[in-house]
A and B are shown apart, each in its own frame.
Chain A
Amino acid sequence: MIFNDHILKPFINQIHKDLNAFCINEKYYSYAKFSQRIATIAKYLEESDELRIGLITNDHLDTYASILAIWIIGKTYVPINPDAPPARNQNIIDQVGIKTILDSKKTIKLNSVDFETSIKVLKQYSLESNYSDQLAYILFTSGSTGNPKGVKISFKNLASFIEAFLKTGFVLDHTDKCLQCFDLTFDVSIQSFLVPLIHGACVYTVPSDQIKYSYVFGLLDDHKLTFGIFAPSMIHFLKPYFDEIYLPQLRYCILTAEASPIDLVKEWAKCIPNAKISNFYGPTEATIYCTYFHVNLRKKLKGANGVLAIGQPFKGISIVILDENLRPVEKGQKGEMFVSGNQVTEGYWDNLELNKEVFVVFDYKGSPQRFYKTGDLCMEDEDGDILYYGRRDNQVKINGYRIELGEIEFHARASIDGKNAIAFIYQGQTGRNEIALCLETKNFNKNAILKTLQATLPSYMRPTKIFNLEKFPLNKSDKVDKNAIIKRFNFI
């Protein structure tokens, strides 16, 4: 009953109230209208015996209604971005064997059931919806083999996330106005719309044809939004304008999706003087987020290599930091983070080999538990807060020395006034591994940077190639696209 108790019932409790559920493209949609669309699409879907439903991620009320409709009848949605390369989408459709695809351009033609009927339909489903191990969604992320890999998230995973997330200290009500600026193929989008919807709050979306950072600022400023979830890269776009951004009505600011630079957070905090800022960490495999760190601006911000701490595990999540032999490291030592708990996926879609590799069972507190191997390098400090050191595969060896690229990036950033920097390995003329450094800046003085790095890094850690890009490319999830940077480097 966990899905019903934590998601469906709290949502149904809102629909009688005269409140807006969504603001999409400057148009408001009430909870009543939203419920009617959910019930309409649910009835339409009932005719199909397909379990897994593709969903075209248009910025449209029916897209969100489709997600809820799919869920209340216990089916699974697989988001498909209409702007993604068709071959990639076809790969996903083929992998899962999807036959039914919902597209708001077509569902819009379904005549809405009336409000009374929609309530009856939702309540009836609510009685039957004791879903647990059934899948709520499958999200595809890029795979090292070239094929995207599908992460299977069950209703139990999702409901456990919602329950644990609310215990981290967020109190919302019907007066809240919440930003949803994430692509629906990325799991932070689910938190962005679902948490408001179970509190009677209004969700403000970002049309895909808009320049995102500019439109997001417009929403925050014009509509006085109170709750925002942001990727730090997007805030970075706003940085040149920080002196004219003042958003006193923002109550909560969640930073997530990638490492949060402490300097950026400090500057951004001045624009949002009344907001409680929190850093959330989590791989898709552990359902949206699994650790959190509340920022206290009166104290020195805790972090590693200039990146904000990721803090404490969610309730119900166990985290261990292990060495290469799967033995726990001492407190204060770096290791790989392993995550266990009800939020952890049962595995990747149809990928036995990878599942064997990244899900491991070992004894924890006296009983065998299943853990997900995150590939993230972390350390627990004396307060029990987890510090983030980047990807494990960001660790490289040169001439036998173990090197953290994050450390090079940290010192590089310091030498260019806090702007972003990415370090990576390339094969030099001699065929040996060397370090290249890309700076996110228009102009730079190579000699001055080399001097700074000489002053801070041992010789084996210094980059042999330094170049710049005025702006770093971002991927669909608004993270810096390191692969795209390396591709550009190969052209130089």
Chain B
Amino acid sequence: MERDQILEKIKIIVVSVLEHDDFDMKDELVATDVSGWDSLTHMIIITSIENEFKIKFRLKELNKLKNMGTLIELVQSKL
């Protein structure tokens, strides 16, 4: 799957979990830049991404995520 397609799908998930699109979907995006992105919604976003792409993350991969760019690369590496 193309990187842009992955980005677009993740964006749809984040918007649906946080119920707003008040953020700029770029590689440098981090959770603290986005209103409402906390431990709780993070868990829901991660689970939704797993379901959407039919992949499974390991905790060791998740705690090394730096920003949106690394999340997209991680998803891509699992497809």
- Residues of A whose CB lies within 8 Å of any CB of B are 209, 211-215, 217-218, 221, 237-238, 241, 244-245, 470-474
- Residues of B whose CB lies within 8 Å of any CB of A are 30-32, 38-40, 42-44, 47, 58-60, 62-65
- Can you give 26 contacting A-B residue pairs, CB < 8 Å? A209-B31, A209-B32, A211-B31, A211-B38, A211-B39, A211-B42, A213-B43, A214-B42, A214-B62, A214-B63, A217-B59, A217-B63, A218-B64, A237-B39, A238-B59, A241-B58, A241-B59, A244-B58, A244-B59, A244-B60, A245-B59, A470-B44, A470-B47, A471-B40, A471-B43, A472-B40
Q: Which residues of the other chain, B, contact A238 by a CB distance below 8 angstroms?
A: 59
Q: In chain B, what residue has the closest Cβ to A478?
A: B39
Distance between B30 CB and nearest chain A CB, rounded to angstroms: 7
Contact of B39 among A241, A244, A474 (CB under 8 A): A474
User: Considering the chains assembled together, what is the distance between the CA atoms of A241 and B30 in angstroms?
Assistant: 23
B43 touches A209 (CB 8 A): no
Q: In chain A, what residue has the closest Cβ to B58?
A: A244
Distance between B12 CB and nearest chain A CB, rounded to angstroms: 17
Q: Which residues of the other chain, B, contact A472 by a CB distance below 8 angstroms?
A: 40
Known interface pairs A211-B39, A218-B64; 14 further A-B residue pairs with C-beta atoms within 8 A, sorted by A's residue number: A211-B31, A213-B39, A214-B65, A217-B63, A221-B63, A237-B43, A241-B58, A241-B59, A244-B59, A470-B44, A471-B40, A471-B43, A472-B40, A474-B39
Distance between B79 CB and nearest chain A CB, rounded to angstroms: 21
Q: Which residues of the other chain, A, contact B32 by a CB distance below 8 angstroms?
A: 209
User: Considering the chains assembled together, what is the distance between the CA atoms of A217 and B64 in angstroms?
Assistant: 10
Q: Which residues of the other chain, B, contact A211 by a CB distance below 8 angstroms?
A: 31, 38-39, 42
- Which of B40, B43, B58, B60 has the most chain A CB atoms inside 10 A of its CB? B40
User: Considering the chains assembled together, what is the distance between the CA atoms of A237 and B39 in angstroms?
Assistant: 8
Q: Which residues of the other chain, B, contact A473 by a CB distance below 8 angstroms?
A: 40
Q: In chain A, what residue has the closest Cβ to B48?
A: A470
The 5 closest A-B pairs by CB, nearest first: A218-B63, A241-B59, A209-B32, A214-B63, A471-B40
User: Considering the chains assembled together, what is the distance between the CA atoms of A241 and B57 in angstroms?
Assistant: 9
Given the known A-B contacts A218-B63, A244-B58, are A209 and B30 also in contact in the complex, defined by CB atoms under 8 Å? yes
